[in-house]
Amino acid sequence: MNRFNSHISGYRPYRALIFLVLCCLLPGVQATGMHTAHSGRPTQLLSGDRLIFLTEKGTRYRVKLLGIEAPPPKGALGAQAQRYLGSLIMGRFLTLKRGSIDAEGFLVGKLSHGGADVNIRLIQAGLAVHDPLGQTESDLIRYADAQRKAQALRLGIWKPQKRQPRVQYLPGGGPGIILR
């Protein structure tokens, strides 16, 4: 008997079966772990793209909306984005499709209500910019298109800002008005 035949004779077929089963299950476990969906309600808005979400099972998540970046809440546009997000989601039953965890510990995810994408609505209103990090190819196209339309319509952050006069003292010592 040669080495090849002696190796085969010691082979146990159940190991191959276990290996095949594991190969089939592992990709499914990884995919469901990374992109599970939760149903629940928002409990608090932190900004125009961040919130606290409470699932039906009682799990509390700090969520950053995937694909968008809203202005900081302390500014006028940031406060407007936060109010608009509140009008879209507060008091409603939503689905959170979760993705990864960001550096600040927020779960990055996509909210939907009745099948409608909440995240893209902020871009469409001109209250957030498109952030392509972590998006699917179809969402990349949809979100970029929504931003181009908001820019063309000059909505929200794309609206031309009024130039505010500012007083600055000139080198000669007198005040001058400078438009910024």
CA–chain centroid gap for 15, Å, is 42
Question: Which pTM does this prediction carry?
Answer: 0.71
Round to whole Å and give the CA distance between 66 and 100: 10
Task: Please report, for the chain, the start and end positions of each structural domain, with discontinuous segments joined by +.
Answer: 3-27, 36-158
Q: What is the helix (H) or strand (E) element at residue 50, kind and residue range? A: strand 50-55
> What does residue 20 show for φ and ψ, rounded to 5 degrees?
-65, -40
Q: What is the architecture, at CATH level 2, of domain 36-158?
A: Beta Barrel (2.40)
- The b-or-e profile of 99-123 (16+ CB within 10 A means b, else e) is beeeeeebbbbbbbeeeebbbbbbb
**pLDDT given for residue 19 in this prediction:** 54
Q: Report pLDDT digits (tens) over 115-151.
A: 999 999 999 999 999 999 999 999 999 999 999 999 9
* pLDDT tens-digit series, residues 7-50: 444 545 555 555 554 455 444 333 333 468 999 999 999 999 99
Q: Comparing C-alpha atoms, which of 37, 53, 35 is closest to residue 45?
A: 53
Q: What is the pLDDT of residue 172?
A: 59
**What pLDDT is stored for residue 18 in this prediction?**
53
